[in-house]
């Protein structure tokens, strides 16, 4: 059984702190070239009423799109430097530091959660902890939109945009993510699998987007 002590949170935070400015420069506007992702976020926006949190928010581009779609949204991230980029680029959105493995939120707080590739650096053995935390803080009927890289490999990355990092990227079958979500108490509404956009738009991996809902009381 995975414990919090087994997960390299410090290393993940340090890597994204180092990457924050380049990450934001390269990816803040990426949704402009991703019509399918924009459609998913607009579907999500239409399915929630209340406070939403974008977890693993990075520079805040997903939160920005949701706010522009009329959603009451905040962002949460592990990296203080990434949060600085998010606040600078989205001064009208609230961002806070947090760890998805141990959320500093009360039960039944949120109407929705988006998590776009927020779990990709966490070993899949830890995903049940993450999903139980998400389920705990969602209100009954709360909606989760999860995006992930699919596959069965682990890619070790030591450099991004010319900067040294220490990150593992975990590629996980959609069926495994679905099973972990269901074990955490979610009801799966839809699993959408797709190939990548062109190389100039995104990394060439298979993707899955999962809509999952916490059952009503």
Residue range(s) defining the domain that contains residue 145: 4-213
Are 70 and 45 in contact, with CB atoms under 8 Å apart? yes
pLDDT value of residue 6: 67
Give the residue carrying structure tokens 């929630």.
48
Give the residue carrying structure tokens 């592990």.
78
Where residue 67 sits, what CATH number does that domain have?
A: 3.40.50.150
Residue 1 confidence class, pLDDT cut points 50, 70, 90:
very low
pLDDT in tens, 127-157: 999 999 999 999 999 999 999 999 999 999 9
Token couple for 110: 């949120």
CA distance 92 to 111: 20
Taking residues 61-70, report their average pLDDT. Answer: 98
pLDDT surpassing 90 at residue 2: no
Q: Does the CA dihedral 11-17-22-28 come out positive or negative?
A: positive
Instruction: Report how many domains make up the chain.
Output: 1
pTM: 0.95
pLDDT value of residue 7: 81
pLDDT in tens, 90-132: 999 999 999 999 999 999 999 999 999 999 999 999 999 999 9
């Amino acid at each position: 059984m995975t414990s919090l002590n087994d997960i390299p949170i410090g290393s993940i935070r340090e890597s994204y702190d180092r990457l924050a400015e380049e990450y934001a420069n390269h990816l803040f506007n990426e949704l402009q070239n991703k019509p399918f992702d924009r459609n998913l976020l607009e579907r999500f926006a239409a399915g929630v009423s209340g406070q939403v949190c974008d977890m693993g928010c990075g520079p805040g581009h997903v939160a920005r799109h949701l706010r522009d779609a009329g959603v009451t949204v905040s962002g949460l991230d592990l990296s203080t430097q990434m949060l600085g980029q998010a606040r600078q680029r989205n001064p009208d959105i609230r961002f806070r530091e947090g760890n998805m493995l141990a959320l500093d939120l009360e039960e039944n707080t949120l109407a929705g959660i988006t998590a776009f590739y927020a779990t990709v650096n966490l070993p899949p053995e830890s995903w049940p902890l993450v999903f139980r935390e998400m389920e705990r803080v969602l209100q009954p009927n709360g909606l989760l939109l999860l995006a992930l890289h699919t596959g069965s490999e682990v890619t070790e990355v030591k450099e991004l945009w010319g900067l040294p990092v220490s990150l593992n990227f975990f590629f996980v079958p959609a069926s495994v993510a679905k099973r972990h979500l269901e074990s955490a108490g979610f009801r799966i509404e839809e699993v959408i699998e797709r190939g990548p956009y062109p190389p100039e738009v995104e990394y060439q991996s298979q993707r899955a987007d999962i809509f999952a809902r916490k059952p009503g009381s």
